[in-house]
Structure 1
Amino acid sequence: MKFAVLCALAACTIIPLGAQAQQLPTMYYSDSGVIARPIAKDPKIVYFKGQYLMYYSVPGHQNKSWSIGIAASSDLTHWKKIGAIKPAAAYEKNGLCAPGALVKNDQVHLFYQTYGNGKNDAICHAVSDDGLVFSRNPTNPVFHPTGEWNCGRAIDAEVVPFNGRYFLYFATRDSSYRVQMQGVAATASLNTSFNREEWTQLVDSSILKPTLDWEKNCVEGASCIQIGNALYMFYAGGYNNEPQQIGVAKSVDGIRWKRLSNLPFLPNGAPGSWNESESGHPDIFKANDGRYYLFFQGNNNKGASWYLSKIEVKPEGGKWKIIE
């Protein structure tokens, strides 16, 4: 029997050659506990109380009532679902998804978007002592943008401490509801409860909008990490399966951003690979051993399924490189 060694920018898998042979990375996680087909999107990783936790989006039947799945791992590769966050409050009755998360004062703070409300979707906040059961912020939704440059919508929350305060990066659309782009708000200090009144929109314009051919009409899904005195933003360019691909930008003030390249840092996979349709919605994460991993979603069937995987990356000389 003939075999193929398949790597797909991650650890290799050896599978028989055949009509349906695919490039499968070692981490290949999805959720089929809500609907029959495997779908998991929008990964966000934290380390909390001795284990890694991954929060991700899961659709309900007929693509409605999105919820957030919770999986646990000891090695960042093999994951087991251990919980879920389902719609509960009136403002999220149509669904919730696209989690962002951070650990602060021995609690997990979750930032997520409402779903299915078009221009009225906004960012919400919840907190947990165990990473599984969350209490909603009584001021939810805690943020939506203002100004004529956007439509009032806020999704894909990423909250990161930087320069003595928390920055909230969010995706919104222009007033025509056609172009997706990044905006930013911030708290006054690190001493915050993340309540609605504590967020201030920093600029009355987008901080990163699609300008490159591969970004098409969409820049979304920001994930940020600080290296030295700079923030690096991994972001998704292009709407789902156009294909969506991942780029990187850098900022020293959290507001003004410069792309590191005009090309995608992580493109979609080659024909026949597991992520042929996209490599999207990134999460950059530093593990306990000091190694960096880029988590992302992908599929090869235009969204009939979605899987989560990761590659190892490394900052080097103000740039990033993939560790093969």
Structure 2
Amino acid sequence: MHKLPASPWPGLFQKAFAVLGLGFGLFIGSAAPAYPNFWFSDSSRLGRPFAKDPSVIRFGGRYLMYFSLPPFAPEQAPAPAPRGWSVGIAESPDLRQWRKVAELWPEQECDQNGLCAPAARVWEGRVHLFYQTYGNGPRDALCYAVSRDGIHFQRHPENPIFRPTGDWNNGRAIDAEPLIWRNQWWLYFATRDPFGRTQMLGVATADLRRPISRTSWKQQGSGPLLRPELPWETRCIEAPSIIIRGETLVMFYAGGYNNDPQQIGVAVSQDGVHWQRRFTEPFLPHGRSGTWNESESGHPGIFEDDDGRTYLFFQGNPDRGRTWILSAVEVGWDKEVPRLLRHSTKFPQVP
């Protein structure tokens, strides 16, 4: 764990843009797109806003967001600096104002090329963090760490603790999504077909009463839970994020590779294994031309607060990935059917 001072750039950019009405136009040197009322990013790695893959929890009297940070540009890198991706940690008192408080850098042999795409769950007074290795192609797999304060993590000595098997995938596991349901850990993941072309979803389960290890997991199903079928999903379904609504599991997922554009869809399940799409069109599409997220609305992270209100965090950009920022919308419900709230007191503008 590397506890670092928060970068001043996100707050300074946001205040300046709010006053000048220039969005990202000043920064990327192009026509100024519209931007959301709430956003967070980090410029410490590249000198420009770049943060991806949000996962939000409430823990220890504040909100914590875990997110992915890219490799350092040479001119930005401290000594020593990791050569690959890392995980950032930000805290907030209100879900709107965020401050980066720490980073997780590579510590184990398996993550020396990088780690990213964190997903956090609170259980029995601790934060359980699942994340992936990055930079190893089909050998990337899922890792696990535990924390009592949400900042300092003890990593599992057996990492990586999961990679898929079966002739329907190439053995890669990314985009972990842990769920505690029916006295089990449910570990959702994205993988690819044997040729490495199509991204799709799988799941494994483990007994909640026993310590997690490599041998804990039992893979469910004989093939992918969801694979791309709709035109807007192109060749990729990834980044599952799941909330329990009564007896129904509701999954927000990313369709399309980065900047395809990636957009967010919804699927539902009664047993955790068999899933049906709730909509044929994206629940949260990418923005129209000239908006902050015209290249993507992707990698969802659904979060339910203590008061029962739910918020969908996601990543977007207007420049095909030169920058990345994180934002959120509030989600309302008609039983298990989600809908975007366009007049939220926390997030008043729907991107």
Band of TM-score, shorter chain: over 0.9
Per the TM alignment, residue 37 of structure 1 is displaced from its structure 2 partner at its CA by: 1.9
1:230-281 residue CA offsets vs partner (Å, 9 max, x unmatched): 1000000000000000000000100000000110000000100000000000
Q: Is 1:66 the equivalent of 2:85?
A: yes
Give the match for residue 39 of structure 1.
Answer: 50
Q: Which runs of 5+ in 2 are unaligned?
A: 1-17, 75-82, 343-351
Q: Is 1:253 the equivalent of 2:277?
A: no
The 3 A distance-change label for structure 1 pair 221 and 39 is: same
Give the match for residue 228 of structure 2.
Answer: 210
Q: Is 1:127 the equivalent of 2:138?
A: no
Give the match for residue 287 of structure 1.
Answer: 305
Letter in 2 for 1:138: P
TM-score normalised by the chain length of structure 2: 0.86
Query: 1:26·1:77 contact (CA, 8 Å) conserved in 2?
Result: no
5 Å-filtered alignment, 1:1-324, equals 16=21, 20-61=31-72, 65-188=84-207, 190-324=208-342
Give distance in 2, aligned partners of 1:146 and 1:21.
Answer: 47
1:208-240 residue CA offsets vs partner (Å, 9 max, x unmatched): 000000000000000000000010000000000
For residue 187 of structure 1, give the secondary structure of its aligned residue in structure 2.
Answer: strand
Give distance in 2, aligned partners of 1:317 and 1:288.
Answer: 18
The 3 A distance-change label for structure 1 pair 252 and 88 is: same
Give distance in 1, aligned partners of 2:336 and 2:306.
Answer: 22
For residue 101 of structure 2, give the secondary structure of its aligned residue in structure 1.
Answer: strand
Give distance in 2, aligned partners of 1:266 and 1:273.
Answer: 14
Give distance in 1, aligned partners of 2:205 and 2:175.
Answer: 15
Query: 1:162·1:254 contact (CA, 8 Å) conserved in 2?
Result: no
Give distance in 2, aligned partners of 1:48 and 1:78.
Answer: 16
Query: 1:21·1:272 contact (CA, 8 Å) conserved in 2?
Result: yes
For residue 49 of structure 2, give the secondary structure of its aligned residue in structure 1.
Answer: coil
Give distance in 2, aligned partners of 1:176 and 1:158.
Answer: 24
Per the TM alignment, residue 194 of structure 1 is displaced from its structure 2 partner at its CA by: 2.1
Give the match for residue 10 of structure 1.
Answer: none
212-221 vs 198-207, greater mean Cα deviation: 198-207
Give the match for residue 9 of structure 1.
Answer: none
For residue 279 of structure 1, give the secondary structure of its aligned residue in structure 2.
Answer: strand
For residue 31 of structure 1, give the secondary structure of its aligned residue in structure 2.
Answer: coil
> Which of structure 1's runs of 4+ aligned residues deviate more than 2 A?
13-22, 61-64
Give distance in 2, aligned partners of 1:284 and 1:60.
Answer: 26
1:120-150 residue CA offsets vs partner (Å, 9 max, x unmatched): 0000000111111111111211100001100
Which structure shows the bigger proportion of residues in helix conformation?
A: 2
Size of the alignment, in residue pairs? 311
Give distance in 2, aligned partners of 1:16 and 1:143.
Answer: 46
Which structure shows the bigger proportion of residues in strand conformation?
A: 1
Q: CA RMSD of the aligned region, Å? A: 1.6
Give distance in 1, aligned partners of 2:275 and 2:333.
Answer: 17
Give distance in 2, aligned partners of 1:25 and 1:288.
Answer: 24
For residue 61 of structure 1, give the secondary structure of its aligned residue in structure 2.
Answer: coil
Give distance in 2, aligned partners of 1:16 and 1:156.
Answer: 35
Give distance in 2, aligned partners of 1:192 and 1:177.
Answer: 34
Give distance in 2, aligned partners of 1:101 and 1:195.
Answer: 17
